Structures are given as C-alpha cells and as structure tokens.
Structure 1
Amino acid sequence: MNYLSAENISKSFGDKWLFKDLTLGLSRGDKMALIGANGTGKTTLMTILAGVTPLDKGSVSVRKDIRVGYLEQAPDFDGQLPVLEVLFSGNNPVAKAVKEYEEALLSGDDKRFAAAIEKVDSLQAWDFEARVKEILGKLGIPDVTVKIGTMSGGQRKRVALAKVLIESPDLLILDEPTNHLDLSMVEWLENYLNTQNTTLLLVTHDRYFLDTVCNVIVELDNGSLYTYKGNYAYFLEKKAEREAIEASEVDKARNLYRKELDWIRRQPKARGTKAKYRVDAFEDTKEKASQRKFDNQIELNVKSARLGSKIVELHSVGKRFGNRTVVNNFLYTFKKGDRIGIVGKNGAGKSTLLNMITGELRPDNGQVVRGDTVQFGYYKQTDLEYKDGQRVVDWVKDVAEVIRLGTGQTVTASQYLNAFLFPPHKQGTLIEKLSGGEKRRLQLLRILMAEPNFLILDEPTNDLDITTLNILEEFLMNFPGCLIIVSHDRYFLDRLVDHLFVFEDSGNIRDFPGNYTDYRNFLAENNDPKNDAKTQATTASAKSETPAAPTKRKLSYKEQKELESLEHEMAALEKQKAIFIEKLNGGSGSHEELTQWAKEIEQLNAKMEEKEMRWLELSEMG
C-alpha cells in the first residue's frame, strides 16, 4: 500500500536548481532514511514531502485515509503557550480527553476531575494516557505547565518530538529526531520506533540508529536520488559498488569524448545537416565526461601547539546551583593522549564540568589547575557568529590567509576550506545561505585554526552529515593532544574514546575504563545501572590481580589502522595470485612467461605469509 508518492519534483532558489525531477515512493511499513551531504537539500525535500514548502515542478500525493506527523529541524511554537497546550493541540478526540484530564488534575476541581475521568473512560483512553506519560518521561519533559518560551532550543525540540509521537500518526516524517537527546533517550526512541507499527521517513546522521531502525536508505547526491533496500551497512556496500561503476563510466565517456571531439572539429560544415544523431550523442557524452566527483576524502592534518607535562588537574571540584549538586567533589588529572567521552542525562551537569575545566566557570569548592602550555579548542552548541553579507572564504581569511598543517606545510584559506568539504564554488556563498550543518562545520574549522592541544567538543555531531563525520573521526583519531567529547552519537563515541566520565545521581561522576559499548555491556552484566564506582573499581582490581588471565591491551589507533589496512592488502594479494594461477592453468604462455608467472606467485606467497603473521599478531593483541 503506497502511503506517499512524489513524482518529478523540482526545487530552485533563484536561478539555481537544488534538485530536478526527483521521484520517490513510500509504502506502508517502510522505515526510510534520507541521507546526503550538508547543503544538498535534504531538509528542503523533507519540507516539500511534508507539505510545508511549495515545489516548483512535479507533484506530491499522500494517501487520503492516513494521518501524517512532521517533526521539523527547528520547531517554532508560541512562546506564551504552556507545554500541555502544545502537546495536545491536535484534533484527536482521545488526545483532547487526556488533555482535559491533565488540566483537571492540576486544577484541584473535584467535579471537573470526575467529569474528565468519565470522558477518558468512555473513550477507553487510559492506555493512551499511560503512553503519553511514558513518552514525556523518557524524553525528559516532567512539567507540562512550563511555558515554551522559557525552554532551551533542545527542550523545545524534545517537546515537538513528544507531540508527534503522542499523535501516533500513520506516517512519521522526522528531521534529525536524535538531536538534543541524551544517550538513554536515543536508545529508547530507537526501541520505540522499532516496536511501533509506523511508517517512517527520517533524516539522521546517527549510524547505529540507521542500522537498527531503517530498512530503506535513500541518498540525495548531486541532485539525484539513489534507493537501497536494506540497512546502513547494506547501503555502504552498494554505494561503493555504484561509485566504482560510475567512475568507470566517466572514464569510458572521456575516452569516447576525445574521439568524438576530433570528429566534430574535422567536420564543422556537416554539423548542421549531417549525422545529427551523432552530434546529439556528442553533447550527451560531453556532459557525462565532464562529471567530477568532489574528493571528500582529503586528510585533515591541522597543527597543534606543544603540550607540556602539566595539563589540567581537578582537585575535588564541586558545583551547586541552589540546593542541587551537579558536580560532587570530582578528582582527576589529565594525561597526554587522554580521549574521554562524557555521558549523562540532559541537565546532569556535563557543560558545567567543561566550563570549569576551561575556566569559564569557577567551582564552589576544590581547585582546577591548568598547565601553562594548554590551549583549549572549545566547540559549543552555540550559533555561528558572522557579519551580514559575509562570504565563507572571507570569514576564514579574517583569522588567517595561510594555515599551518601538522606536517609543517602551509595551505591557503581556500585549500583549507576544501578539506572541510567546501569546494571552490561554495566558498563564495553568503554564510546566511548555508545549511545548519554547513554552519556547524565552519564553526569547527575556525576552532581548529587556532592550533589547540586540548579539544573539547560539546555535541559536535548535531547537524553534521555522515561524510563530514567520517572525515572528522579520521582527524580526531590522529589528534595528538587531549580530547573530551560530549555526544549522543554512540558510533562516534565508540570509535574515538578510551574511557568515560559517566554522570550519575547527586553530581557523582564515574570514571569508567572503556568506550560506550563497554559501559553498556558492564551495566547489562551487573544488572544494575546504579552500581557505584567503588564496586566497579573493586571488580577491575580483582581482575588485575589474577595472573592467569592478563588483560589484553587495546590496539593503538595506529595499530588499528594498520590492522584494517592489512586486511585490504591481503585481499588484494589474493586477487593478484588468482590472476597468475589462471594464466598458468591456461597454458597459452611461452616458456619465459610461464617461468615469470610462477616466480610472481612465489613472491606473492611470501608477501601474504608476512602480512598474515603481522595480522595474527595484531589480532591477538586486540
């Protein structure tokens, strides 16, 4: 059953087409993810499909008997309305009955409360009311009397998500639903969407979320849509195959173009009357041969200032706001190469700890000692600051026209922008015309230009596309200084951090050795998420005192990359060996060729044996 159909839709801004003649279909039960680079038009396409933005060409149709719920990227509500009014502003009679029940409960009017109960009873809405309570509790919205205008942007986004889920539409259209959720909320939402009989269309950069929730991946790339029936892992495999085929087709078109260009030049008079089909085919070949994929795999290698032996020491620091303790006597000494993830519920005090580390906030007790050589790079959840009418390249040149890399080389501001996925044609764009993700990328670029040796990234993955995340991860894996990451992106944390600061109740912070998946496994094994740090430390100590089962050390990032590289190299050698074996078995070569092929196989065997030994060594270490 087809729920949504888009036929030949096109959208332009001024004289520039964002995309043309796109066709998309969504069937009942599909859980479809729309992915693509920042600035390609994902949000615009979503607003068109949701009926918010008019299109220039084509048509969008939604099945008449279904209800559609839409979560926009930046929800806009009347700031004077309380949360309750926003949550139940739809026309669903069950939702209206539950809203009246909540209002009656708060009013203290017994008659009104009795009438509300009777109404809920008549509609058999108690299950609905219980589901509302679950959604509000899991998304951290305990007080429905608060006015929307007093809430942060992240809180408003969670209210908007709760509203959409409460309405329980047949088709959910969600733009970045995991932004501003903490890790427990992301995991709950993932489970909720997996267990609900809902058809889903969403934009997200969360790769674990994509892999476990979605069964269809649609990529918006260079104005075209590519559909993959499978999860994110399947998409990666098939995309690589598609790009290899496209690269081969472009190479063939370029070779043909050179031949046809010679024919065109030799017959200028004949073009008007002869072989018109060939002239038309030449234009098609020219267009195909002119295709150029922007290389988004440029390696970031930004210079960092030298870091001394004393970095940052936290001597039993504490912070309270009123009667609430958000950081309780936390003690830690940062070491070179520390790679720490910070996890905890929204409002637990994560940003408070970061601000005390950098000196933007004084602790109520204890002391923060910072080394003289420490240079912080602090990426916050704040809007990008720029002048009206300022262009991307000029904004970067305001800081420096030449940037030093970690290799000692220098690059121009334009080359530096290129590495951050701002190709030359994008560098003259007005900043106000950039997408949210592109502005976030610029903000990160500016911080790295200052050559920090202690990077603090507060939710760096919000609004960034997957391509940017992959490049950022590669850079951070080789970053030589200290790194602290606050993120709800589990894949990002797992790949980059060695241990965690876990915010628990009453401002207590657990220093956990391992990444986020290690921590979740630890909780599952102990069946108690509230086990204190002392229990965990005792367990770790007991393990370390058992000589029969020494703890394997983790591979370094360099060794991990070597292990991954070895797997590819071994596969390539195997293919080469198979080619020479096939030649030998063919029996068509001369005596000299047969001898040479046998020699090549012998050399390949030696190389493979050497690489296999190193692979086994690294595998056992990991």
Structure 2
Amino acid sequence: MSLIRLHDVSVRYDNRQILREAFFRLEPGDRAGLIGKNGSGKTTLLKLVLDQVSPDTGTVTLELGTRVGYFSQFSELDGEATITEVLEDLFHDIKAIETELAAIDAAIALDSSDGDALDRLIRRQAELFEDMDRLDGWDYRRRIDTALTTLGFSGAHRACPIDDLSGGWRNRAALAKILLERPDVLLLDEPTNFLDVAGVEWLEAWFRDFRGAAIIVSHDRKFLDTVVTRIIEVENFHLHEYPGNFAEYVVQKQFRLKTLEAQFVHESELLAFEAEGISDRREAAKAASRGLGNNLAKIKKSRVPRPVDQIVTEIYSGLHVKDVLCRVEGLGKSYGGHTLFEELSFEIRRGNRMVVLGANGSGKSTLLKVLTGEEQPDAGVVTWAKGPGFVSYNRMLEELDDADTVSHAVNALPDSLAFSATKKSVNRFLAMFQFSEADLKQKIGNLSGGQRARVAWRNAFFRGRRCCCWMSQPTTWTCPAPR
C-alpha cells in the first residue's frame, strides 16, 4: 500500500501554474529525490502532502496512521527551552520507563520479607526491560549527543535557549529533532544546507539505518547520489520520474532529451509535408483550425530548452584590477579564549578563486568578516589595494526588498555594471541565472528561497566595476543547472 498518493493534481498560485496533472506514489522504503528549477513547485508538493496547500484539482491521499516529519528550509523551532531539553522531551515515554525502573530498583534494594511483592516488582521490571528494548531506549542519550556533536553543537550552544540561536543553528536543531523522531515518512527541504562535510557524511550514514520512506529536496548532487533510490523532476508543471540516483538521472535525462529532439524533428517534417499538401487556401484555413495549428503549437512546446548561456565576458571588459588585491599578514582571532585562527598570512590576487573550508564553528564566516572589516582581528593586518571593492553575497541576500521587482533590484544598484553595458549583454547575463522576461517583473517577496538567492547572487556580480564577491554558502538553494 502506498504511503502517499498524488492523483491528477493541479495547483495554481496568483494566476501562475505550479503543477498540472501531477501523479506520484511513495512506497514504504522509497527515497525519492525531488529536483527542479527554483520556483518550479518542489516545496509546494511537500506542502500538498502536509495539507498546508490544497490542490485546485485532483487528490492527495495519505495512508491512515502514517507519521510524517517535515524539515523546512526555514526553521520554525523556537522557545526558551534549550535544544538538549527539546530533544530529550522526544523520549518522554522512555524517560518515564527509566523513572519507574529506578523506583523498582530502590524498592528491591530494601530489605523486604514480602515475597509476593518482590515477585510483582521483578515481573514488572522484566516488562519494562522489554519495553525499553522495543523502543530502542537504552542509548537515546548517546544518540542525542552524537547528533548534536556531529552537527557542530558546542556546550554553549546546547545550553542556549533556542530563541537565542542564529537561523543556521536553529535549522541544525530542527534537523536533529526531526531525525531523532524517526517518523514513517520524512519530508526534507534542503537538509544539507548549513551542514559541513562531517555533518553531511553523518546524515548519509544515518539514512543507511533509516527504515522509513523519504522525499528529499536537495541541490547537493553527491548527497542525492548516496541516499536516494529514484529522482522526481518537476519540469513544465509535471512530475517526471527516473529510477536510480542523481548520476543515473543525468544519463536518463540526456537520453530523454535526445529522444524528444528526434521526435520534434520527425514531427516537424510530417507537419511540413502535410502543409505542402494543402493547396486550397480555404481548405488550408479549415485544416489549420481543425488541428494543424494545434499540432504545431504542441510541437513548439516540446522544444528542448537551449543550454544556459555562459557568463558574458563583455560585461567585465572595462574592469582594470591590480595583480595583488589584498595582503593578509599574521591574522589572528579568538572568542572567549577559543582561538579560531592565528598567524594567518596569504594574498588575494587577480583571478584567484579561493574556498574556505572547515567544520561548523571553526571560524570561516568570522574570517570573511575580518577581511571585509565587519570585525576587527586580535592580531595581524589586512591591507587592501586601492581601487578594488568587495561585496558580500550574504549582505545582498539580507538587503533584498520584498516590494521591489527582480528587474529593478539590479538597475537600482549603485555603480552597477548594468549601466555601462548594452541591454543585450545585460539580458544575456541575466539569462545565465534563468530569469525569464516574466520573472523580471515579479516581486521579490513572491519568489522562492532559491530564486531570492539567485537575485542576490546576480546583484553581487553586478555590483561595482572592481569587486570581489565574498560568498558564504553561495549555492544554498540554487538548483544544479545554474551552478
């Protein structure tokens, strides 16, 4: 019996089609990777399952008694409780058994001559032992500690009220909670965002022991390769299924596109032959109205989209940047007696593409803040050459105005490269980020998380003639194609 069934589902939002005639089944043990362009309807599909969105047509059916757990891109976890308290509360049944077992141990330890009472205590103890085995409750504290440690929670983070945690840490806390709940079906929306390499590897290992089903929205190709058993792609409002992991999907998708292209050529030739055979203008008009026009329209819709244009280098033709942009000497930074980095020296040179790696809490974001002057170092010097500026992708994301349109957001930037480039070059550059003419007119407040990220990414590249783009997690929320 399928745990989740979508039958002929269509959804529209603000007069925009999201899904049309969508069919989908999730069987026990399935691991479905849900992929598609930003704004294509992936999160909408999850909300359909959660009954947070109602279909305009069709049905969404959840098998009776199925427990569903949902991890959102934006954590709704809050409150004055600590993450440790929240996670321990998940095991309240086990904690109740522990309390009763402790009381039985204390009673047995007393010198009692009542043999019948002792027998009852021992029988009850045996029942509770069986309950602990059934609930896998003997090591729940170790499981909590393993999850928190692997996700990077220090002692201070564990003792901190959830309301005082940053958004990234609340997301990690929410992920730990949903995984430890072990529902029948997991709905995970970008679970690897904000995780370091160790955290992602732990999550992959966790799935090897998970016996439930899952629908996973992720842009992490390696994670999908490791975890999922099939790929569901949201494309042109429909759901297309590909068995296997992401690597197998790529091969199957290429074959499907070639088949569609061949079909397009063949049908175009047939239609051309049919059109040539219609000599009478009146008959041609009637034929077109009967079906020829409709057939041509269908063929046009089946055209395979062209590959995304590469970055248009003429946008940057006026840039004149020195060889050495920044020199770092003996840089050091500590927090509360904990050293993040020390004696750090390097140069940032023209053309460099540098990546900062490290575990959660190791100081990656702090290093970027020190380099850009948002924080002061405890030791060392950061010297920038005259001329080149820098822009923060994350700051661009934070400063997006929900009331602004996608098009105006780039044109309103001070010193935007769009001012000195041709309109054609700008439009080709924007096409790289998969913004259509209709997308450019949308309000930013109506965009998905991935679309907002692409607006910020685009703005960062357009900002100023001499810029270095500091990007902390720039591919978060972006689909594989525009990377």
How does the TM-score come out when normalised to structure 2?
0.83
Q: CA 1:34/1:136 → structure 2, altered by over 3 Å: closer, same or farther?
A: same
Equivalent residue for 1:159? 173
The residue number in structure 2 matching 1:83 is 83
Letter in 2 for 1:366: G
What is the aligned-residue RMSD (CA, Å)? 3.2
Q: Secondary structure, in 3 states, of the residue corresponding to 1:343?
A: coil
Q: 2:473 maps to which residue? A: 459
Alignment counterpart, residue 177 of structure 1, candidates 180, 185, 191:
191
Q: Which moved more, 1:419-428 or 1:296-305?
A: 296-305
Q: Distance in 1 between matches of 2:149 and 2:129?
A: 23
Q: Cα deviation per residue 1:95-139 (whole Å; 9 max; x = unaligned)? A: 21456799x9xxxxx98x989xx9986741113333222222222
Could you say which residue in structure 1 is the equivalent of 2:113?
Answer: none
Q: Partner amino acid for 1:300?
A: I
Q: Which residue of 1 aligns with 2:149?
A: 137
Q: Indicate the larger mover: 335-344 or 258-267.
A: 258-267
Q: Which residue of 2 aligns with 1:202?
A: 216
- Quote how far apart the aligned CAs of 1:316 are: 1.0
- The 5-angstrom pairing of residues 65-80 of structure 1 reads 65-80=65-80
Tell me, yes or no, if structure 1 residue 448 matches structure 2 residue 461. yes
Alignment equivalent of 2:294, drawn from 276, 283, 292: 283
Q: How far has the Cα of 1:345 moved from its partner? A: 1.8
SS of structure 2 residue aligned to 1:340: coil
| Structure 2 SS opposite 1:325 | strand
Q: Which residue number in structure 2 is paired with residue 394 of structure 1?
A: 408
Q: Secondary structure at the match of 1:5?
A: strand
- 1:408-452: CA deviations, max 9, x gaps? x77454443222210112111111111111111111111111244
The alignment partner of 1:66 has SS state of coil
Matched, 1:250 2:264: yes
Does 2:139 correspond to 1:127? yes
- AA of the residue aligned to 1:299: Q
Is the Cα–Cα contact under 8 Å of residues 321 and 466 in structure 2 kept in the other structure?
no
Deviation digits for residues 384-423 of structure 1, max 9, x if unmatched? Answer: 4244532111222223484667xxx774544432222101
Residue 12 (structure 2) aligns with? 12
Match of 2:341 in 1: 327
Which has the higher mean CA deviation after the structures are superposed, 239-248 or 433-442?
Answer: 239-248
Q: Which residue of 1 aligns with 2:311?
A: 300
For the residue of structure 1 that corresponds to 2:470, the secondary structure is strand
Pick the aligned partner of 2:365 from 321, 334, 351.
Answer: 351
Query: Aligned with 2:18: secondary structure?
Result: strand
Using the TM superposition, give the Cα deviation of residue 306 of structure 1 relative to its aligned residue in structure 2, in angstroms: 2.9
1:403–1:413 Cα contact (<8 Å) kept: no
Secondary structure of residue in 2 paired with 1:25 = strand
Distance 1:427 1:224 in 2: 23
What does 1:514-553 align with in structure 2 at a 5 Å threshold? none
Residues 168 and 290 from structure 1, CA distance in 2 versus in 1: closer, same or farther, beyond 3 angstroms? Answer: closer
C-alpha distance in 1 between matches for 2:187 and 2:45: 11
Distance change (3 Å), C-alpha of 1:335 and 1:348: same
Q: Deviations over 1:362-401 (max 9, x none)?
A: 2111211222243324322764424453211122222348
Structure 2: which amino acid aligns with 1:322? G
User: For residues 551-592 of structure 1, what are the alpha-carbon distances to aligned partners after superposition, in whole Å with 9 as ceiling and x for unaligned?
Assistant: xxxxxxxxxxxxxxxxxxxxxxxxxxxxxxxxxxxxxxxxxx
Q: 1:413 to 1:384 in 2, by over 3 A?
A: farther
Task: Classify the secondary structure of the residue corresponding to 1:317.
Answer: strand
Once the two structures are superposed, what CA deviation does each residue of 1:46-76 show, in whole Å capped at 9, x if it has no partner? Answer: 1212333222221222232432211122121
Cα pair distance change 1:21/1:147, threshold 3 Å: same
Seen in structure 2, the aligned counterparts of structure 1 residues 163 and 287 have a Cα distance that, compared at 3 Å, is same
Q: Distance in 2 between matches of 1:254 and 1:270?
A: 19
> Aligned equivalents of 2:42 and 2:208: distance in 1?
23
* Number of the residue aligned with 1:266: 281
- Name the SS of the counterpart of 2:457 in structure 1: helix
Inter-partner Cα distance in structure 2 for 1:310 and 1:70: 48
Does structure 2 retain, via aligned residues, the 8 Å contact 1:39–1:434? yes
Distance 1:173 1:193 in 2: 13
Judged with a 3 Å threshold, the aligned counterparts in structure 2 of structure 1 residues 393 and 236 are, in CA distance, closer, same or farther, namely same
**Aligned residue identity for 1:172:** L
Q: Secondary structure at the match of 1:463?
A: coil
- 2:201 corresponding residue in structure 1: 187
Question: Which residue of the partner structure matches residue 418 of structure 1?
Answer: 431
Deviation (angstroms), 1:180: 0.9
Matching residue of 1:430: 443
Letter matched to residue 266 of structure 1? R
For residue 259 of structure 1, report the CA deviation from its aligned partner.
5.4
Residue type at the aligned position of 2:399: E
- Cα 1:241–1:419 shift into 2, 3 Å: same
Contact in 2 for aligned 1:384/1:439 (Cα 8 Å) = no
Change (3 A) 1:417 1:337: closer
Contact 1:306 1:453 in 2 (8 A): no
Paired with 1:122 and 1:11, the residues of 2 have a C-alpha distance of 48
- When residues 410 and 286 of structure 1 are mapped into structure 2, their CA distance, relative to the original with a 3 A threshold, is closer
Residue number in structure 2 paired with 1:511: none
The correspondence of residues 28-107 of structure 1 with structure 2, limited to 5 A, is 28-84=28-84, 86-87=86-87, 95-98=91-94
How many residue pairs get matched?
450
Residues 56 and 379 (structure 1), Cα distance of their counterparts in 2 relative to 1, 3 Å cut: same
Tell me how far apart the structure 2 counterparts of residues 349 and 384 of structure 1 sit (CA, whole Å).
21
Q: C-alpha distance in 2, partners of 1:73/1:52?
A: 15
Deviations, residues 294-334 of structure 1 (Å, cap 9, x unaligned): 43420113417333243322211111223222222212233
- Matched residues in 2 for 1:439 and 1:114: separation? 60
Distance 1:191 1:391 in 2: 42
Q: Which runs of 5+ in 2 are unaligned?
A: 108-124
Is the Cα–Cα contact under 8 Å of residues 402 and 445 in structure 2 kept in the other structure? Answer: yes
Deviations 1:164-221 (A, max 9, x none): 1111112211110000111110111112112332322101011111111112011111
Shift of 1:161: 0.9
Q: Deviation digits for residues 322-355 of structure 1, max 9, x if unmatched? A: 3222222212233444333211122211111112
Which one is further off, 396-405 or 31-40?
396-405
Report the Cα distance in structure 1 between the residues aligned to 2:202 and 2:172, rounded to whole angstroms. Answer: 13
Contact 1:174–1:202 (8 Å) recurs in 2:
yes
Structure 2 counterpart of 1:360 = 374
